Structure 1
Amino acid sequence: MANSPEMRASDGDRDRVAAVLREHTAQGRITMDEFNERLEQLYKSKTYGELARLTADLPDVDLRNRPKVSKEVEKRETHAGMKAAWSAWAIASGVNWVVWLMVQLNSDGFVYPWPMWVMGPWGVILLISTLFGNNQPKRQP
């Protein structure tokens, strides 16, 4: 049976319209003020006709097939935790090499370059995690 404009809408119907409005806001078709106004009206709406009026001036959006560009950008972005791990690795490596250099300059002979054993395994693990791991933040329920 087709949905007539007078039929009552469900919470799921309102959630789908909210997702469409968010997508149009993200694409710049409506401003944040318009989004907030429409969202307020959305949750007051009771029928399919009222829901349809909220998106009547907007093109249809297929939320299942979002643009690939945004997914590619997400893949390229590194999770903030991974950036922090690389920063910690760089700082610890730098400090160890400075200590090694000070010891080397104050000794009579060659000092084994032990900092490579600190930075090597740690760096390999970070590199593997960066290249093959999921660098996206975990979403809170």
Structure 2
Amino acid sequence: MAQSPEMRASDVDRDRVAALLREHTAQGRITMDEFNERLEELYKSRTYGDLAKLTADLPDVDLRNLPAKIPQQEVPARRMHPGMMAAWSAWAAASSINWVIWLIVSVTSGDFVYPWPLWVMGPWGAILLVSTIFGDGKQRK
């Protein structure tokens, strides 16, 4: 069904025109004052003809094919996924606690005690290491 100028516009249509006006403002075609004036008229508009008047003097813009915006400041790349950093932190905390316990037992017994914390930290650390090296670093949803 073709859109005639007398046909009533929906909220979605108004939102689409508002997005166009924002894009034209960002590109410098209209000033903020013009943008605010047109936005007031936009939300008073009832028909497609009213909406068309608001963008009649502006070139067509396809909002789906806009170029990517250039970031203001370059954010340094994260070296490791936050979940992986948490896993390594838990491993380090557990390993430290086990080594402290081993040290206390060794000192108080007066004899060398087998270094059993290696069995706690070894397999767990190996799994984390493989996950860190071969993991893709992307969050799962």
Cα gap change, 1:30 to 1:133, in 2 (>3 Å): farther
Taking only the aligned residue pairs, the percentage that are identical comes to 77
> Which residue does the alignment assign to 1:23?
23
Letter in 1 for 2:75: T
Deviations 1:60-104 (A, max 9, x none): 000001123x1xx2396328xxxxxxxxxxxxxxxxxxxxxxxxx
Letter in 1 for 2:31: T
Letter in 2 for 1:42: L
Structure 1: 4+ residue segments shifted above 3 A: none
Shift of 1:53: 0.2
**1:44-55 correspondence runs (5 A):** 44-55=44-55
> Which residue does the alignment assign to 2:61?
61
Q: For residues 37 and 9 of structure 1, what CA distance do their matches in structure 2 show?
A: 19
Unpaired runs of at least 5, structure 1: 80-131, 135-141
Deviations 1:20-55 (A, max 9, x none): 000000000000000000000000000000000000
Q: Compare CA radii of gyration and give the structure with the larger one.
A: 2
* TM-score of the superposed pair, with normalisation by structure 2: 0.52
> Which residue does the alignment assign to 2:7?
7
* TM-score of the superposed pair, with normalisation by structure 1: 0.52
Q: For residues 25 and 39 of structure 1, what CA distance do their matches in structure 2 show?
A: 11
Deviations 1:79-135 (A, max 9, x none): 8xxxxxxxxxxxxxxxxxxxxxxxxxxxxxxxxxxxxxxxxxxxxxxxxxxxx989x
> Which residue does the alignment assign to 1:78?
75
Unpaired runs of at least 5, structure 2: 77-135
Q: For residues 17 and 34 of structure 2, what CA distance do their matches in structure 1 show?
A: 14
Q: For residues 133 and 74 of structure 1, what CA distance do their matches in structure 2 show?
A: 22
> Which residue does the alignment assign to 2:120?
none
Cα gap change, 1:15 to 1:133, in 2 (>3 Å): farther
